[in-house]
Amino acid sequence: MGAELQKTSLHELHLGAGARMGGFAGWDMPLSYAGTLAEHHAVRTAAGVFDVSHMGQIEIRGDRAPAFLQAMLTNNIEKIAPGEGQYTLLLDESGGVIDDLIAYDRGDDHLLVVNASNAGACLQWLSGHAPAGVTVTDRSMETAMIALQGVDWKRLLSAIGAGQATLDLDYFHFGRDELAGSEAMVARTGYTGEPGVEVLVPWDAGPAIWAALMNVADPPEPAGLVARDTLRLEMGYPLHGNDIDLERTPLDARLGWACDLDTDFMAVEVLRARRDEGVAERLCSFKLTERGIPRRGQDVLAGGEICGTVTSGSLSPTLDVGIGMAYVRPEVAEPGTEIAIDIRGSIKGAEVRKAPLVDTSPRKG
């Protein structure tokens, strides 16, 4: 028998709401509630709320912590100030992606929010490389995390106590506030492309935040991991384990913008060489031009020949067509290139498209 799945502090609330539960990265998580289509459309048109307490939270503290993070992470940590966050990556010696994550500068420490499936690997890697004077502490089981995503987020957050400073936060900034009777860290980040926040509170305070949001007039739609996946695919956001992994560098995955190659960090020489030599395959987004739903592992064809492999695929609820991401030869990865996907022996036409496939920029204000 396998190990028992871990449960977030909101687990009983999910069961009470009739969530369809399933295992994900060692956690028993809500996959959907009313249905993926309803949840997806709610986030795109009003607001949805996700329990993301399964994600890892790692605290980095000490006088040498900024220099340590500069050496470990691909982005330039010196470019953010206290109260700001940054998308970045943690690499191994070969340039493979251990994880993509968000680093928050909290003034007296840094908080790294990492993917649930990689929390253990990140903790082990960072702990193993930390110099004297730097402490690496796992806060994952102390922190509940709730993502409120969609254009209606300000009304909903205000209704449970958010002050004006929180409502005025800029993108990738965060602040402190009291929500539903609990001290909270509120970050203007998210994984959906929509405006919104991620709320971090003590583990046992998570249910009170969720319940307070559900008791607001016109509450947000509870949303599960399946809707989270379709939302991120429309944005062209890679998922670790599918679109990025230890076998790929950030440059292969078109994440060079999150790598400051003018600084020194783990495997920077590998990335510089890859930049100069060029990549063998590049990640791209695509949209089907015929009916069909692409899935991971299916062949991508160009000119009738196999040129790559699908890494993620689904039906786009917004576009009502099949969409996905794939690694293909660099010349095929150019937007506008006509390709085809072999869906269980049926060849379906598709086109490489520039991400995002759904433009949410007008809704971000």
**For the domain 281-354, what is the CATH code?**
2.40.30.110
pLDDT of 204 reads 98
CATH class of 11-55+141-233: alpha beta
Q: Exposed e or buried b for every residue in 31-68, given b needs 16+ CB within 10 A?
A: bbbbebeebbbbbbebbbbbbbbbbbbbbbbbeebeeb
Query: Residues 97, 100, 106, 108: what is their CA dihedral angle, to the nearest 10 degrees?
Result: -20
Kindly report, residue by residue over 177-235, the tens digit of the pLDDT.
999 999 999 999 999 999 999 999 999 999 999 999 999 999 999 999 999 999 999 99
pLDDT of 2 reads 60
Kindly report, residue by residue over 240-259, the tens digit of the pLDDT.
999 999 999 999 999 999 99
Percent of the chain with pLDDT over 90: 98
Kindly report, residue by residue over 19-59, the tens digit of the pLDDT.
999 999 999 999 999 999 999 999 999 999 999 999 999 99
246 neighbors 97 (Cβ within 8 angstroms): yes
Provide the residue ranges of all domains of the chain, joining segments of one domain with +: 11-55+141-233, 281-354
Percent of the chain with pLDDT over 70: 99
| DSSP code of residue 320 | T
pLDDT of 352 reads 98
Query: The whole model's pTM is what?
Result: 0.96
Q: Stretch 136-162: mean pLDDT, rounded?
A: 98
Token code pair at residue 225: 């991991």
pLDDT of 363 reads 77
Query: How does the average pLDDT of the chain come out, rounded?
Result: 97
178 neighbors 238 (Cβ within 8 angstroms): no
Kindly report, residue by residue over 311-364, the tens digit of the pLDDT.
999 999 999 999 999 999 999 999 999 999 999 999 999 999 999 999 998 876
Token code pair at residue 78: 């010196």
Whether 79 shows a pLDDT value over 90: the answer reads: yes
